[in-house]
Amino acid sequence: MLGVRYLALSRNLIVGRCTRTPVVFENLPRTVRLADAAQRFHTTPKQCINPVFLLVAKQLTKGLAVLSGRGFRKWWLNLPPNKKAYFIDTAVRNRWKIAASAGAVSALGGAYYVSHIQETPITKRRRFVAFTPEQFQKVSDFEFEVQYELFKNHLVPSGHPMYARVVRVANQLLRGNEDIDTIRQAVVVDVSHRQPDAERLRASERADLCLLGHAATLQQ
C-alpha cells in the first residue's frame, strides 16, 4: 500500500519483537494513526556531487597545507636564536606534560571508538557507529512524540479494517525474519482524508510487505 510509512520509533504503536520463534503482536493499542502519505511516498533521489567541487576542494586543501607548513617554517627561521632556544627549552621542560596530554587524548579517542563498535545482526560485521543504542532510543522517543502530535487527530479504532491489515502485514514480515535475534520497529500507516478515492490506497499486501521490508533494511 502506497500509504504505508515506516518509522523506527521506540514506543509501541504496532511494535513486534522478532525472536527465533514465531512472533504475534500482543497488547496492541486501540488506535493506529492515519494521514496522507500515499502522495508523498518516494525513494530518496540520487544526489551526485559536482566533480568540479571535488577538484576545487582538493586543490584548496593542498594549497592550505603548503601555505600553513611554509608559513610555520618561515616563522621559525625568522625567529632570533634566543627565541628558538626559549621554545625548545620550554618543550623539553614540559615534555612529560605534553606526553601525558597526548596519551590522554589518544586513550579517550580509543575508548570512544571501541565503545561505539557494534556488530551487524545478519553479516556479523563489526563497524563503528557514532551514536549508542541509548542515544538512538532518545532520538526515537522524541520523534515519536513529534509524530504523535502531528497525527493525533487522525486516529482510528482498533476495529478498523486498515488496523488489521497493518498487523497482518507486519507480522508476516517479522515471521519472515526470525533468524534475526531482535527486531524492534514501529509501523505508522498514514491515509489522507483528502484522498477522494479510498480505493487508490488499497494496493496489494505484497506491496505493503515490500515497503516495510525495504524500510527495515534501511534501518539496519
Model confidence pLDDT, tens digit, residues 49-72? 777 887 888 888 877 777 777 788
CB atoms under 10 Å from CB of 188, counted, come to 21
Averaged pLDDT of the chain: 68
| Strand (E) or helix (H) holding 147 | helix 133-151
Query: Grid coordinates representing 12?
Result: 509501541
Q: With 50 as the cut, is the pLDDT of residue 82 above it?
A: yes
Q: With 80 as the cut, is the pLDDT of residue 118 above it?
A: yes
Query: Grid coordinates representing 43?
Result: 525513494
Q: What is the pLDDT of residue 100?
A: 94
Higher pLDDT, 23 or 162: 162
Measured distance CA(22)–CA(175) in Å, rounded? 6
pLDDT in tens, 166-184: 778 777 877 776 666 555 5
Q: Strands 31-33 and 4-7, how do they pair?
A: unpaired
Helix axes 81-93, 95-115, angle to 10 degrees: 60
Contact call for residues 216 and 15 (beta carbons, < 8 A): no
Highest mean pLDDT among 10-24, 105-119, 131-145: 105-119
**In sequence order, which residues have a C-beta less than 8 Å from that of residue 149 and are 6 or more positions away?**
none
Q: What is the pLDDT of residue 163?
A: 77
Comparing 40-49, 90-99, 190-199, the range with the smallest average pLDDT is 190-199
